[in-house]
Amino acid sequence: MQVGEARAIVTGAARGLGRHFTLALLREGARVAAGDVNGAGLRGLKAEAAALPGALTVATLDVADEASVAAFVELAARALGGELNLLLNNAGVLRDGLLVAWEDGAARKLPLTQWNKVIDVNLTGQFLMAREVAAKMIESGTRGVIVNISSLARAGNRGQSSYAASKAGLDACTRTWALELAAHGIRVGGVAPGVIDTPILGDVSATALQSLLAGIPVGKLGTSEEVWEAVKFVLTCDFFTGRTVEVDGGASMG
């Protein structure tokens, strides 16, 4: 598939990587339905995209809510002329915390609500989006691509039990869905970014940032554009499916 031919859904589109992916698609003439729980961010995205050659539809979307997902996919299909051929499964949240932390002489346990929030958005939400979009593709006889945005943390990372579990689970789904959907002309691939220079790093201290950089062999943060280049490869290479591309500056080799 060529990028300009995409009739795409992008989740988590209001900021960070999702916003970059949306704008990159629009620059190449794609038609995009962008969803996020952040309505103000979506309005800003729409204003930023106004001069680009592609066509953009925005609507609020909670990927962890089955009814919200179904309604959004229906809206997107109508807005994109009844044809969907790309899902960028990007929405995600962080709720970091140690499994058990020893503080002030007491054990503080990771709350179940905190665990569930991450799994609901990062794994169940990706499943719901993939299920609904794949069904639309199959019903319309459209060949398409699903790209799941994973993470370097999928291998496990201190303080990220829920996040690591969600991304490892998503990788397993990437392989599973690729096997299941190939017969319908649908490819499924993943992209696993490392430490990327996005607004979320504004919450990271200078000391912590230096520690992160020390673990990256290329000695720099990744950029959203570098992650997009990997997404673009998955999208455009018709012989690629069932694997996750690591874009982490070599950090996963350590």
The CATH number assigned to the domain holding 161 equals 3.40.50.720
**In-domain check, residue 103:** yes
* Cβ contacts of 172 within 8 Å, gap of 6 or more: none
Q: Is the pLDDT of residue 200 over 80?
A: no
**In-domain check, residue 13:** yes
Average pLDDT score over residue span 52-81: 97
Q: What is the pLDDT of residue 68?
A: 98
Please state the domain count of the chain: 1
Confidence of residue 253 (pLDDT cuts 50, 70, 90): confident
DSSP H/E element including 58 = strand 55-60
Contact (CB, 8 A) for 134 and 183: no
SS3 of residue 226 by DSSP: helix
pTM equals 0.94
Per-residue model confidence as pLDDT tens digits over 209-241: 788 788 899 999 999 999 999 999 999 999 999
Output the six-digit token pair for 105: 């002489």
pLDDT averaged over every residue in the chain: 94
* Cβ contacts of 120 within 8 Å, gap of 6 or more: 64
**In-domain check, residue 82:** yes
**In-domain check, residue 253:** no
Catalytic residue from among 72, 163, 177, 228: 163
Q: Is the pLDDT of residue 165 over 70?
A: yes
Q: What is the pLDDT of residue 254?
A: 64
Confidence of residue 157 (pLDDT cuts 50, 70, 90): confident
**In-domain check, residue 252:** no
**In-domain check, residue 219:** yes
Question: Nearest Cα to 150, choosing from 91, 199, 98?
Answer: 91
Count CA atoms closer than 13 A to 223's CA, side-chain side: 3
Confidence of residue 207 (pLDDT cuts 50, 70, 90): confident
**In-domain check, residue 126:** yes
Average pLDDT score over residue span 172-176: 98
**In-domain check, residue 22:** yes
Confirm whether 146 is a catalytic residue: no
Residue 224 belongs to what domain range?
3-246
Contact (CB, 8 A) for 152 and 194: yes
Q: Is the pLDDT of residue 56 over 80?
A: yes
Q: Is the pLDDT of residue 125 over 90?
A: yes
> DSSP readout, 190-214?
EEEE-SB-SGGGGGS-HHHHHHHHH
